[in-house]
Structure 1
């Protein structure tokens, strides 16, 4: 496996920073690496944590580091997910800015697309919505996009995006699009969310916008990387939950240091949080290892069933951590502790990208076909 080195870092730091989730120092989220193995990356991660809330600065850091960071399926998937989780543990919204940029670069690389070398800030827009449709029509040897696409996060400040559109054959395909083209109009969304407030998601309209195919008809949804990207989002969710769990533990430690020992209920809540988070870390580590081994055999579950299983497990764990910690800490920190209140609101919204029972229904249909390990 090729050595990895983040942009602008010549040698590892003497050791990983010690710290908590307050953004002053970064404590890494580890799957399989030792703290020393991640030390090389922590300066860039710490810069992202310090830039929390400043979207232009976060996008600039993503541009500078994205091309040198690991990509899923290339032997360092666990490191990629550790980095995503570590950023998200410090600030959920920062992870939400970073993840789609890295996902877009991975998609372009998987397709052998030359735009992977471009230095712009990328997004991935693949959602569908009622009453909205984006069409891709052939224009000689190229394509042009017409229509509208919903849920386009940060479209107004990104340079380019990988976008899915409906094609003449009735399917969907992915395209690389320059969002600075005059035919692209990003609506100012009525973004009233209290979570992820700095990352508005709205509708983007396209009128005769040139688009370059990425991977061909049907490739985007059928490639293993589609599942891998979905698991990368779960790594961000889990990182956010770890940030919440660290807030809880630090509060108990501070109370203990002040002479107030936690009662059995508080300890039981912390114990359940610990085993819930740890089980998810083990699941992510195992999934990363399976991806990098890339040696499927008869009877192995498909990448998508693996992704749905992992995403559902992590989403349920996140919901449980939010419930346990929110109940244990009560209303005061939600009202007066801004970093904690922001983390709780950001994570509650972000994890809604999992569609609950609808995603479980997809997984159940796969299990009914025998696409499982049991």
Structure 2
């Protein structure tokens, strides 16, 4: 269980881990996102005060760090968020911390389909099946993966195809990214293909359903929203630049509306961080309600920013500014981790049931 003041993400035994990797070693054709991910994670080893664990008293700094990466590159932020979330999960569930030279992911998406199965053998657990949306599949050396076992859904730690610097034969045991399963334009740099698991040795992390039952599950969901918000701020940049260059009533109106939405979302995110620090173990039972509210508000903010920036600036930035076009496409994809009406229905159910702080009733 996570302590009230959990340890820093920099808690790594000296001298352990693999050699630092470079962009040339990582991802499809040494992608820029993979290289940026590695640089950030390696810097974190000596600067973790900038990104403490959620509930440690520095959650605002954690969310600010995630937003800052997202403002620079949302695909990199997706990979960094996965690594930092894995570090938080391992700490909360009482596992050994990540070490320098490891690059972690959390592969927990469970869309319709057979997914992964976990089998206990005489030599330990093994995983078989197909896992979808595995961000950093060619880059990360380790992953936390959800799988179905006879006794329920469990979380496991595995070494990936990238852990030894070279993928084994796609026909043999191991976990192998499936070619052609991530043809995305938006969030292309997140490298999120399907991964095929064949008799992959796995270490259980926590008990059955521990991944979902822990308070940090909801705290981590707010961290994802911090990335979305940073992405929205990146998209808004061209609008602010246009407003600064020319006096135009309609541009100013869109700029004011976007600023209002971003300011409100940032204020709510800051409040959520303070509430997480005040109640890291969710003794008040408000973590789920908080996460659903923050994620819904930030998702709506992202949608309005994308719409207003497009209406105010026209097609020009999307057609002639590669950085803006990529930021807009990335945000449109990433924010779909919010499940729209499904998540709003879940929020409404909590409110109707009387869970949480009762605000608005």
Pick the TM interval, shorter chain: 0.7 to 0.9
Question: Aligned ranges for residues 188-199 of structure 1 at < 5 Å?
Answer: 188-199=179-190
Match of 2:239?
248
Change beyond 3 A, Cα 1:123–1:312: same
Q: CA RMSD in A?
A: 2.4
Per the alignment, residue 248 of structure 2 pairs with 262
Preserved CA contact (<8 Å) 1:74 1:292: yes
Superposition TM-score, scaled by structure 2 size: 0.83
Q: Distance in 1 between matches of 2:305 and 2:215?
A: 30
Q: Could you tell me which of 120, 124, 128 is aligned with 1:142?
A: 124
Pick from 145, 153, 156 the counterpart of residue 138 of structure 2: 156
In the TM superposition, residue 166 of structure 1 has moved relative to its aligned partner by: 0.7
Q: Provide the residue aligned with 2:323 in structure 1.
A: 339
CA gap 1:105/1:333 in 2 versus in 1, 3 angstroms: same
Distance, in Å, in 1 between the alignment partners of 2:212 and 2:183 is 31
User: What's the CA shift for 1:141?
Assistant: 6.9
C-alpha contact (below 8 Å) 2:232/2:302 kept by paired residues: yes
Equivalences for residues 156-305 of structure 1 within 5 A: 156-169=138-151, 171-180=152-161, 182-254=173-245, 256=246, 261-263=247-249, 265-294=250-279, 300-305=284-289
Matched residue of 1:312: which SS?
helix
Instruction: Give a deviation string over 1:233-276, Cα, whole Å, max 9, x none.
Output: 1000000111122221112212x3xxxx122x221111111110
Cα deviation 1:29-88 (Å, max 9, x = unaligned): xxxxxxxxxxxxxxxxxxxxxxx9613322322431345231111111100100110111
Please state how far the C-alpha of 1:301 moved relative to its aligned partner: 4.9
Spell out, residue by residue over 1:1-44, the C-alpha distance to the aligned partner (whole angstroms, 9 max, x if none): 7998989xxxxxxxxxxxxxxxxxxxxxxxxxxxxxxxxxxxxx
Sort the Cα spacing of 1:2 and 1:179 in 2 relative to 1 into closer, same or farther, 3 A.
Answer: closer
Conserved in 1, the CA contact under 8 Å of 2:292 and 2:344? yes
Task: Check 1:92–1:56 CA distance in 2 against 1; reply closer, same or farther (3 A cut).
Answer: closer
- Contact conserved, 2:6 with 2:53, CA < 8 A, in 1? no
Moved more, 314-323 or 130-139: 130-139
* 1:76 match: 58
Count of residues in Structure 1 that have an aligned counterpart in Structure 2 = 322
Residues 251 and 53 of structure 1, relative CA distance in 2, 3 Å threshold: farther
Distance 1:340 1:217, change over 3 A: same
Secondary structure, aligned partner of 2:132: strand
Instruction: Tell me which of 52, 57, 61 is aligned to 2:35.
Output: 57
Structure 1 unmatched ranges of 5 or more: 8-51
Query: Would the aligned equivalents of 2:7 and 2:91 in 1 still touch at CA under 8 Å?
Result: no
Cα offsets for 1:145-184 (capped at 9, x unmatched): 1111111122122111000011211x21111001138421
Matches of 1:116 and 1:2 in 2, distance apart?
A: 14
CA gap 1:63/1:87 in 2 versus in 1, 3 angstroms: closer
Deviation of 1:118 after TM superposition, in Å, equals: 5.6
Q: Deviations over 1:174-218 (max 9, x none)?
A: 110011384212101343322112223221111211111112211
